[in-house]
Amino acid sequence: MLSMRETFLATTERILDADPDVAVVLADISAAQLAGAARRHPHRVINVGIREQLLVSTGAGLALAGLRPILHTFPSFLVERGFEQIKLDFSHQDVGGVLVSYGASYDMPTAGRTHQAPGDVALIDSLPGWAVHVPGHPAEARRLLLESIPGDGRVYLRLSAQENAEPHLGVGFTRLRSGRGGVVVAVGPVLDRVLRATAGQDVTVLYASTIRPFDAAGLRTAVLDAGTADVVLVEPYLAGTSAHWVAEALSDVPHRLKSLGVRRDTEIRTYGDIADHDLAHGLDAGSLALSVKDFLAT
């Protein structure tokens, strides 16, 4: 089966062949994989070299000329390096585009801090009106990409090497389990670990691959149905990135919240495998099980 990244590139190539209004902007990353598309569409596959500020501004300029741009590189370079370009050239100009990153919080586990971007969703979240998709499976990534092309919205699609065994193609929060002891929210690739961590526990498990807009009504309904307003939020990027939305959704419900995700208190300076980073951040199934049990028992 193709990875999320391979699925994205293959789907993008087909979109370019089918839709003359779509252009792709690259900064060397993935340029080799799209070389065939670049030969067929030399004016719509643009590799600016290792220039990420220009990558973002070029996309905005293409949108001003009436095209639908797809921008792609690693998240540390797409979102963090050119963030002012995202804020001004897309949001402030009020033009649309589809920003697609691959690499997530620590998908390149031996690469060190330079290639980790756990703050990307929080940064995008500081700007109004962006859709943020965090697919947990290649089939979700493909669907979310295809749905992002029509129109002129601003979309951030965060692809990862980590994925779940099965896709869930629902809109908003999908209730995968129902229980009375609390609500555990899993975003994107953490789902399978959350399901293992909560196996046998009397809790509701919600899943979303689209975290902005935030399905506040879905969360509120699930909490009221469970009858226990204890929420554990598990996100594969900075812990608590969606905590403000949970508070908003439950503003009229006395509740408790535990936010799990990539640690904010320290920079983890380790290499090894992705699983080693999961452990360091408490995002492996065993650590998640302990955190959930501990929180719901108190």
- Site residues, another protein (CB under 8 A): 23, 25, 43-44, 46, 48-49, 51, 53-54, 57-67, 69, 84-85, 88-89, 92-94
Minimum distance from residue 53 beta carbon to another protein (Å):
4
Alpha helices in the chain (DSSP H): 4-18, 35-40, 52-64, 75, 83-85, 120-125, 138-148, 191-197, 216-226, 243-249, 274-280, 285-297
Give the residue with the Cβ less far from another protein, 74 or 90. Answer: 90
Minimum distance from residue 47 beta carbon to another protein (Å):
9
Q: Which two tokens stand for residue 98?
A: 């589809």
Give the residue with the Cβ less far from another protein, 61 or 170. Answer: 61
Preceding omega of 213 cis (within 30 degrees of 0): yes
Task: Specify burial of residue 152 (Cβ count, 10 A radius: 0-12, 13-18, 19+).
Answer: exposed
Give the residue with the Cβ less far from another protein, 88 or 253. Answer: 88
Residues in the chain: 298
Minimum distance from residue 149 beta carbon to another protein (Å):
16
Give the residue with the Cβ less far from another protein, 93 or 114. Answer: 93
Minimum distance from residue 72 beta carbon to another protein (Å):
15
Phi, psi of 96 (to 5 degrees): -105, 160
Give the residue with the Cβ less far from another protein, 69 or 138. Answer: 69
Closest CA to 48 of 65, 63, 30, 66: 30
Minimum distance from residue 65 beta carbon to another protein (Å):
3
